[in-house]
Structure 1
Amino acid sequence: MKFFHISDLHIGRQMNGYGLKDSQESALAQIIEYAADKKPDAVLICGDIYDKSVPSAEAYTVFDSFLNRLSAVRPSMPVLIIAGNHDSPERLSYASSFLGRHQIHISALPPSSPEDRLKKITLGDEWGKVNFYLFPFIKPGYVRHLFEEGKVTGYDSAFRAVLEREEIREEERNVLLAHQFFVSGTGDPSLCDSESVMLTSGGLDQIDVSALTAFDYAALGHLHGPQKVGEERFRYSGTPYKYSVSEEHHHKAVMMVTLEEKGTLKTESLPLICRPDVRRIRGPLEDVLAASDGEGRGDFVSITLTDETEAYDMKDQLQEAYDRILEIRIDNERTRKKLMEDGEEIKIPDPFEAFCRFYEAIRHCPMTGEQETILRGVLEEIE
């Protein structure tokens, strides 16, 4: 069984005001070319299809074209799709019954009643069945009502509680599609600047990778950098295009996974070329201007100038040399000195104030007077 694993298309995204439609279509076209060449048995798309919960008409058109072109590849292959945290489950699941009859299987909504289970698609090959479990993005509040009080206390327990209801036949090969923030005891995942917010608020959205042990492969979405989490069989495919300067050194790719007999796993990265590229440039103005020769002038660039004296027409010269400037920074002795002079001492809040801020960041509302009284009592006991 050979399948493609991709995620986080973020169709409709912009970068510092620049539209990325052409860049996204280029990446999607490369995926279709790989599908025509490698002939996978299935394509897995693991969340964040769109960048916004209410996508533009243009974003719908881009994804519709991608699915149509993918469906035209022969032999035909099923496409398995789950919702990510950026997607609107209701919009993504529209016409899912009709699409399912055309081998496009979508799971956008988590179980909502005690009888509901994850959508399971079973395919087969010479070694038997391969069961694909489609687990869309969830928050604890989405599923807490399905379980007895106290069972779901956070993201980790919510994810495990939903999985525990599935009858997973471990003698067969099982694949999970999921869009969550998984961590391993061997080290934290590699995050981009835009993802670092997931580590704030105490990292409450983290799920330990041990929750995935029943699966021969976990096709993960959510993080933009391609990487494994603990084991080779638990992988983030990453985005098909670079969506921030912090992704400059990412090697974007389609993850091609091959499952043969039970316990046999092979993975291969099929590289995707980012057009135009996203990169940082640092140095004196003269060197930065010289570096724009050739194809590089069309890249998305973050520029840091190190000249001690600033040219009065610096911005005009750079805009003449580069087509897509994301930002221009100055880093020299004068700016560093000014930062030191303007720097203020960081005030560390007392535990009560810190927890109140934490609570409001998570719940989006301040604590009640009763809750504050309880918190003060807890802090007094700790002291």
Structure 2
Amino acid sequence: MKLFHLSDLHIGKMLNGYSLRESQKNAFLQILKYAEEEKPDSILICGDIYDKSVPAGEAYTLFDWFLTELSGRCPETEILIIAGNHDSPERLAYGASFLARHRIHIAALPPADRTEYLKQVTLTDEWGPVHFYLVPFIRPGHVRHLFDTNGYTDAFQKLLARETIHKQERNVVLAHQFFVWNGQNPETCDSETAVLTSGGLDAIDASVLEPFEYAALGHIHGAQKVGQERFCYCGTPYKYSISEEHHQKGITVVELGEKGSEPQIRRLPILCHPDVKRVRGTLEELKLLSDTMEKMPDGSGRADAYVSVVLTDEKEMYDFRERLEELFAHILEIRVDNERTRKRLEEEPEETGAVTPFQAFASFYEAVRHCPMTEEQETILARMVEEAEEEERV
């Protein structure tokens, strides 16, 4: 059975004020082409469909177009979707019952009561059934009506323990959480605004994924495994920050054989257009570099890439931004690195690294109370920080 694993589409996202709609559509067109060629049995989309819980109208339109094209080009392919932490579960679940009749299965909410269970979809190939368990993004508070919880790992483990997992058959889980292996965090990047903001309390031990032949994971924006080859983050289909400059974006393709065999995993590349790059040099050097880059289609001669610029000229220029804008169409940021700016940095007091809201309050609490917070207080604070960040994204 062949699976396409996608996640973190973040439809509607802006990059430093620039709309990424056309860039995202370009990535989706490449996915559609691969789907036509490869004919996967199922496409798994593992959370953060949208960038905001209340997406703009054009974000809905783009996702509707993508699903319609997928269904039209691959009418036999089952599409499985879960909600991520950026999604509004209620909005994503709208029309789910109707869509399920058309091979599009959406799991946006955890079980509503003790009589309900996770959405499960079963597909069959020559080796028998494959059971897919769809776990939308959860926090411990989302499942307290089902059982008592002691943190994220406990909540996720107990949620799976309620399910009848067919151990003699093949099983796949879709999840959108922060998984760690032996205490080692996955590699993160700047565009993961909700990751590592709660003192690490949202980490889930990846050992909970052991019952599954494959774990299709979302939440982390760089493609990587979590401990084992079969526990995979597929990453985003586009570069959503300058820290992803060297990421190789793509689709993770998984082929499941008979029970007991290792899944075969490979990547299909997605070319990011416009690309996201760092450029560095004097104005003259940047002119030469711009000449080697792909140009805007408007005939202006400007380079068509999202660029972070480091300008190294020693001579002061009052109009450097205007001159750089003649070379690059999409400037994300401009920094000056020369003798003068380095000297100024040496003279200024050393700044501590950026701290998260959780860390800032924890330090304040300890300074005032002369003792660290208890584990229960940390859990409450983590929940408050997460809720505040969710409201800010709306």
Q: TM-score, structure 2 length as denominator?
A: 0.88
- 2:142 — aligned with what? 142
Give deviations 1:104-157, integer Å, cap 9, x for gaps. Answer: 00000011211111000000000000000000000100001211xxx4111111
Distance 1:339 1:358, change over 3 A: farther
CA shift, 1:199, in A, is: 2.5
Aligned length: 362
Picking from 286, 289, 308, the partner of 1:288 is 286
User: Relative to 1, partners in 2 of residues 1:49 and 1:152: Cα closer, same or farther, differing over 3 Å?
Assistant: same
Cα deviations by residue, 1:321-368 (Å, 9 ceiling, x for unpaired): 100000000112221222232225769768354846967852439xxx
Residue deviations 1:179-235, cap 9 Å, x none? 000011273211002337633432000001101000000000000000000001000
Instruction: Tell me by how many angstroms 1:94 deviates.
Output: 0.3
1:317 to partner: Cα distance: 1.1
1:331 to 330, 337, 340: 337
Match for 1:364 among 384, 387, 390?
384
Deviations 1:225-258 (A, max 9, x none): 0000000100001000000001100000011100
Q: Secondary structure at the match of 1:316?
A: helix
Q: Which position in structure 2 is the counterpart of 1:251?
A: 248
Q: Please, which moves more after superposition, 74-83 or 131-140?
A: 74-83
Aligned residues with identical type, % of pairs = 57
When residues 118 and 301 of structure 1 are mapped into structure 2, their CA distance, relative to the original with a 3 A threshold, is same
Cα 1:359/1:2, change in 2 over 3 Å: closer
* Separation of aligned partners in 2, 1:162 and 1:96: 22
CA distance in 2, matches of 1:106, 1:251: 28
Structure 1: runs of 5 or more not aligned: 366-383
Q: What are structure 2's unaligned runs of at least 5 residues?
A: 296-302, 353-359, 386-394
| Contact persistence 2:35–2:74 (CA under 8 A) | no
Describe the superposition over 1:84-109 as per-residue Cα deviations: whole angstroms up to 9, x where unpaired.
00000000000100000000000000
Q: Normalization by structure 1: what TM-score?
A: 0.90
Q: Distance in 1 between matches of 2:383 and 2:59?
A: 31
Amino acid at match of 2:366: P
Aligned-pair CA distance for 1:307: 2.0
Q: Does structure 2 retain, via aligned residues, the 8 Å contact 1:186–1:230?
A: no
| Aligned counterpart, 2:90 | 90
CA contact (8 A) 2:250 2:267 kept: yes
Q: Residues 298-332 of structure 1: CA distance to partner in whole angstroms, max 9, x if unpaired?
A: 00000011222232321111000100000000112
- In the alignment, the residues of structure 2 paired with residue 175 and residue 303 of structure 1 have an alpha-carbon distance, to the nearest angstrom, of 43
State the match for 1:176 in structure 2: 173
Q: Deviations over 1:43-71 (max 9, x none)?
A: 00000000000011100000000001000
Q: Which runs of 4+ in 1 moved over 4 A?
A: 344-350, 352-361
Paired residue for 2:314? 308
- Which of the numbers 216, 219, 232 marks the counterpart of 2:216? 219
Match of 2:304 in 1: 298
**C-alpha RMSD of matched pairs (Å):** 2.0
